[in-house]
Chain A
Amino acid sequence: MIRFEQVCKRYPNGHQGLDHLSFHIRTGEMVFITGHSGAGKSTLLKLIMCMERPSSGQVFVGGQNLRDLGSHDIPYLRRQVGVVFQNHQLLFDRTVFDNVALPLIINGTPRDEVGRRVRAALDKVGLLKKESMYPIALSGGEQQRVGIARAVVHKPALLLADEPTGNLDPELSAEIMGLFEDFNRVGVTVIIASHDLPLIAELDHRMLTLSEGRLLADGE
């Protein structure tokens, strides 16, 4: 599903984001990416999303070499991926329902199907009753779950999460991770960047450890 081949990412300020990184994540896997802040976790996810381009090396997503994607193709790549951000990236002037519906609206899902799918996604994260509320009225954990519902509402084959439990207490964090495991169980490839080592240790999944842009350990 995801293949990195000798990927380097050097930023204009001289910072080496990734340094000859190579790995392969198969379809249906659930993988944690850990490391200190600045180790290259976010850079790795951004390369998969085409938010950034590698300085050298190649990235394959679903067999597609991202090098061959023009800027007009990038939106269509992103529609195949669900992303959960640490800071949720919700739109605060839209209701929970409208936030979750956004990916469906963007890919042109028929109207009658939008409502059904949004409610299914909200039901999955346990927020069905809050669909008409605004995100500002929700707790941090609830906002994160709205973010997750938005990431999975269009049934992506690949789900990325960048520090999804960053600001949550351990109990909520475990709950969120449980959600990701549920999605993985139905066939979604899940990649989670996190430095919450105690939490990750409890879960039995492959773990890629990064340090200064290099692969330190692959707990396959």
Chain B
Amino acid sequence: MANQPRPADKTDKRPPKSGSGAARSRRDWRHPLRSWAGSHRDSARLALRRIGEHPVSTVMIVLVMTIVLALPMGLAVLIDQVERLGIDWQRAAQLSVYLQQDVKPDAAQTVQQDIAAMDDVAEVQLLDRELALAEFQQHSGLGDALQQLAYNPLPDVILVMPRDIDGGAAALEPLRERLAQLPGVDQVQIDMLWVERLTAILSMVERFTGALALLLVLTLLLVMANTIRLAIESRRNEILVIKLVGGTDAFVRRPFLYLGMLYGLLAGILAWLLLGVGLAWLNGTVRELAALYQSDFELTGMPLQDGLVLLGGAILLGLAGAWLAVGRHIREIEPQ
């Protein structure tokens, strides 16, 4: 008795009833799959209808979700684009070779030619110390003070553009050492420190965004779970009736899961739109700012891939939030 199948499987022991035999024989092997798909279609349609029945609460929850989604996603996209800028700047890496004070102009030119002859050097430019001082007096605002100096404190500088610039500061280290060995060279600097600082700041902001996203996702799950819980509560009577006529927990659950996914879908679309419009709006000022730095940098708008991730994530979050709510809650609603 204990290992008997479910009563549903024992229909055949019952007395034959008019029509049921014929009906059963018509159901072929595709029937379970078809009815499963049909049930999902019904659930999705039901969820859509519920959204239509409660437009205000739908708008509220979708807007909350939109903001919660757009905030971290927007930051992530921005960071991504600024990082791209950082990489561009990294390509502009150069080494500054400071010559000793007492190096004569002829010797400086010899050093310049020696460096230019190196295999891994693309371009060399000599900055004359007298010219550099004049320029410095003009632009630094320290003109008068510099006039008081008995001698020119600035050394000759040779700017070296390395041929291979993809490896970052570390890859330029051997070249720097070789340049430092040359006669008359005082010191060699790799002018990448500020790029590295930018990268460090970006990675910090990135980490902050990650933590923020985590918190916001948690918020979103709770908001979604609460919304679905209220939806379930307002349908308590319907759930009782469905359970009385043999609806499984899964059957009751399904429309609410679809409801969560629909909320997620709507919020995902809205967030995508919001970010698209927001980035375009921001782009105007970014271009102005970039122009001040002689850069043609601009935001490229919301990448398609990020948008799809956003949309998929939003739907998944809606589903997860709904799961949180339905799991216990629907099991607890039992006809008495």
Residues of A within 8 A of B7 (CB): 61-62, 64, 69, 73, 76-77, 80
Contacts of A103 in B (CB 8 A): 245-246
Interface pair A150/B34, CB less than 8 Å apart: no
Asked if B31 contacts A62 (CB within 8 A), the reply is no
Contact of B15 among A27, A49, A109 (CB under 8 A): A27
Contact status A155-B238, CB under 8 Å: no
Task: Please state if A106 and B19 are interface contacts (CB–CB under 8 Å).
Answer: no
B244 and A27 within 8 A (CB): no
Please report the C-alpha to C-alpha distance between residue A188 and residue B15 in the assembled complex, in whole angstroms: 9
Task: Answer yes or no: B32 CB below 8 A from chain A CBs.
Answer: yes
* Chain B interface, >50% SS class: helix
Task: Give the distance in Å from the alpha carbon of A81 to the alpha carbon of B11 in the complex.
Answer: 11
Smallest CB gap from A107: residue in B = B246
Q: Which residues of B contact A110 (CB under 8 A)?
A: 26-27, 31, 34-35, 38
Instruction: Report how far A49 CA is from B240 CA in the complex, Å.
Output: 13
CB pair B14 A62 closer than 8 Å: yes
A186 touches B42 (CB 8 A): no
User: Does A198 sit within 8 A of B, measured CB to CB?
Assistant: no
- Nearest-Cβ distance from residue A136 to partner chain B, whole angstroms: 14
- B10 adjacent to A63 (CB under 8 Å): yes
Are B8 and A187 neighbours in the complex by a CB distance under 8 Å?
A: no
Residues of chain B lying within 8 A (CB to CB) of residue A65: 1-2
Shortest CB-to-CB span from A56 to chain B, Å, is: 18
Give residues of chain A (115-154) contacting chain B, Cβ–Cβ below 8 Å: 150
* Residues B8 and A76 in contact, CB atoms below 8 Å apart: yes
Q: Is the interface of A mostly helix, strand, loop or mixed?
A: loop
Distance A106 CA – B10 CA, assembled complex (angstroms): 18
- Min Cβ gap A151→B in Å is 8
Contact with B along A52-92 (1 / 0, CB 8 A): 10000000011111001100110111111101000001110
**Nearest-CB residue, chain B, relative to A90:** B241
Please tell me if the beta carbons of A108 and B38 are within 8 angstroms of each other in the complex: yes
Q: How far apart sit A75 and B36, CA to CA, in the bound complex (Å)?
A: 16
**B1-44 toward A: CB 8 Å interface, digit per residue (1/0)?**
11010111011011111111001001100011011101100100
Is A73 within 8 A of B6, CB to CB? yes
| Alpha-carbon gap, A28 to B15, bound state (A) | 8
Q: How far is the CB of A218 from chain B (nearest CB, A)?
A: 23
Task: Judge if B105 is at the interface, Cβ distance under 8 Å.
Answer: no
Contact B20 A155 (CB under 8 A): yes
User: Cβ of A106 and Cβ of B242 under 8 Å apart?
Assistant: yes
Interface flag for A111 (CB, 8 Å): yes
